[in-house]
Structure 1
Amino acid sequence: MTVVRAKLGAHLHSMTAPFLFVGSGLSRRYIGTEDWEGLLRKFAALTPRPYEFYRTSAEGDLPAVASKIAEAFYDIWWDSDDFSSSRKKWAGSMEGRESALKVEIAKYLSVPPALTGLANRESLEIEILKKAVIDGVITTNYDSLLA
């Protein structure tokens, strides 16, 4: 058994470093960001109808839920003073009715994360991750945890 373990160890050391897959769970754990459905809930709260209205009218299909929320959010974004700075910055590059929602979600997620106040265990985990030897990162996240 020791020979097999030694051969396996030598083989693994000869390989390249692994890629790290970072999903929304990592961001939820360390900076408290929402998953996709949580983001949709947050932005549905800015519209006249609750998230459940959009979810049921889209039969639970999250891309369709997002489209329905974006449709409802479109007029709000163009009319509300709350979004005037975003309109000044992004109105000229808008491509469709979903663009307003995309802009505001991107803006929300671009706020640098606060890693202060983490429990000792989470702080230690972050330090270990910073020292990890990897060849790359694969992620679907749009937040700034990895920045």
Structure 2
Amino acid sequence: MTESSLAQRYETSTDPARLDVPLVHRWLSTDAYWALGRSEETVRRAVEGSLNFGMYEQGSGRQVAYARVVTDRATFAWLCDVYVDASLRGTGVGTALLEEVRDRLEPFGLRRVMLATADAHGLYEKVGFRTVTDPGKWMVLGTE
């Protein structure tokens, strides 16, 4: 799909009231390697504490993709729970969603937006992400 046809078919919103939380829960808890088994209560709490991006089909309003950003809106953001409906993968929907996230975060002037991925490096590189040049600086508390 071209960028203009994507814009005609889909719209992105940060309104959490529009999110289909049971659908997002199903996507994440059954099909996302990083969130398998996650409870719906945990998904709801995560939504409440985050800047959420839902992508919706124009007309029907059906949700087709989701991304969540944890941020202080001043210095740092963590992009996570990026998910595109399986039937739309490879159509440009994921790239369009990530471009929207990038563009909506830009006015905050964040020093750093981070994410972790096991298998989608190429997708994130399309919108400007790159691998960490000095991973020895980064540490984690909890599970990896």
Between 1 and 2, higher relative CO (CA 8 Å, sep ≥ 6) is seen in 1
More helix by share: 1
More strand by share: 2
> Taking structure 2 as the reference length, what is the TM-score of the superposition?
0.27
> Taking structure 1 as the reference length, what is the TM-score of the superposition?
0.27
**Higher CA-based Rg:** 1
